[in-house]
Amino acid sequence: MYAYCVFRSLGEHGLLVEGKFVCKRSQAESVSIPYKYVVYKGKKKEYEFEYIYKLDSNEITNRCLFVKPHLLNDEGEWHQYDDIICAQPNKGVLKRLKNAFWPDERKSVIQGREIAGQMMLETIFDLLREWNKVNLKNFLSQLKQFYEIYGNPYVFEKKQTKWFSLNYSEKDVSNLLKRFMLQRVTPELQKDCKNKSDFIANPLKAALIMLYVWKQYKLDLDNGTLARLCTALCLPNLPKDEFLPFWTDITESFSFIESLPEMVMTLIKTVRDKNMPRWIIVLPLLHLLKGTSKPFEAVLNTVSINYEQSWAGLQGLKPAYEQYSRSQDRRY
């Protein structure tokens, strides 16, 4: 069963269209399926196929659906995340594009792809407006599908073919994701910005999402943003009767992300290696996530080979004096 609808008006950017096709997993998994959008023009009362601006081929170019089983969510859903639908140019324009003007047209295609990507990211992050564990898992699943599809564009020309000439990669998706995160999800990580997240009411949850995305999708964050991320990950100063349910909610929400403590550790090491002191305020979060301490409970003294590290709560981190010594060695 296939159904589609106009999901949202995007103003000057057109319309956001969503479609749904239900089938057996065996019919779609690991099979390259060619397809193309058809637009009905009301004034002309005729249907017209979209045009895919891939000018380096003499073959008929179609979109390509290739479902990767390891990226399906628990319900077996696959989100294709197509970009803009373009009308076919007339033959004269098409000839000029092929002869001389493709770089300018490619710039327009990439701009359209970026705009479409932002709109699709918005639909993905909309899942986090109603915060619960199921929505969080679906969010992470859809984000992974988006990153894989958008960063590795394919077309179908007799067979599945990587669209190399588009010159759009996972790095471009990381940059797109970075801009979206800083503008819409964690705007407080921008210098002197007082805006709040459009999607996540709890600042620590938003910061943890940024931490996950930063590590998982290799976002290139500058030193100031990393330092402000440490501040955003600082545990709130709440009384016991408020903090305990707050922390229970955090741990239950993120319990299925087993690598989260390691991500916090990576941030701490990254910021510390850059000689920025803000990493220190993230240590309480690390201890609670790793279970080496519990809220409002005394930490039991244990025998440690490195008493100084254990006493300071720096297990797994090299002592500051060692870093200082190495920096002196490099200097001289």
Per-residue model confidence (pLDDT) at position 181: 98
Q: Please check the confidence at residue 29 and state whether its pLDDT lies above 80.
A: no
**What pLDDT digit, counting tens, does each position of 102-159 carry?**
566 677 788 889 999 999 999 999 999 999 999 999 999 999 999 999 999 999 999 9
One-letter amino acid identity for 119?
M
**What pLDDT digit, counting tens, does each position of 80-110 carry?**
999 888 887 776 666 665 555 556 667 778 8
**What pLDDT digit, counting tens, does each position of 35-78 carry?**
999 888 888 888 989 988 887 888 899 999 999 888 988 888 89
CA distance to 66, 133, 151, 250, per residue, from 322 (Å): 50, 41, 40, 34
| CB burial of residue 279 (10 Å; 0-12, 13-18, 19+) | buried
CA nearest to 62, candidates 91, 46, 38, 43: 38
Helix, coil or strand: residue 321 = helix
Q: Please check the confidence at residue 219 and state whether its pLDDT lies above 90.
A: yes
Per-residue model confidence (pLDDT) at position 23: 79
Q: Please check the confidence at residue 312 and state whether its pLDDT lies above 50.
A: no
CA nearest to 254, candidates 163, 149, 95, 139: 139
Here the tokens at position 290 are 């790793």
Q: How much of the chain exceeds pLDDT 90, in percent?
A: 57
Q: Please check the confidence at residue 173 and state whether its pLDDT lies above 60.
A: yes
Average pLDDT of the chain is 85
One-letter amino acid identity for 79?
H
CA distance to 232, 263, 274, per residue, from 222 (Å): 15, 17, 11
Q: Please check the confidence at residue 236 and state whether its pLDDT lies above 50.
A: yes
CA atoms of 200 and 214, how far apart (whole Å): 17
Per-residue model confidence (pLDDT) at position 89: 76
Per-residue model confidence (pLDDT) at position 249: 96
CA atoms of 145 and 142, how far apart (whole Å): 5
CA atoms of 239 and 100, how far apart (whole Å): 67
Return the higher-pLDDT residue of 110 and 230. 230
Provide the CA 14 distance to its chain's centre, in angstroms: 24
Say which range, 48-62, 160-174, 227-241, 270-284, has the weakest mean pLDDT.
48-62
CA atoms of 61 and 154, how far apart (whole Å): 10
Q: Which long-range contacts (CB under 8 A, 24 or more apart) does 282-289 make?
A: 282/230, 282/233, 282/234, 283/313, 283/314, 284/234, 284/235, 285/233, 285/234, 285/235, 286/261, 287/313, 288/235, 288/247, 289/251, 289/260, 289/261, 289/264
Per-residue model confidence (pLDDT) at position 243: 96
- Element at 66 (helix H, strand E): strand 62-66
Provide the CA 74 distance to its chain's centre, in angstroms: 19
Helix and strand element counts for the chain (H, E)? 12, 8
CA atoms of 138 and 85, how far apart (whole Å): 26
Here the tokens at position 17 are 């269209």
Here the tokens at position 64 are 């390509």
One-letter amino acid identity for 329?
D
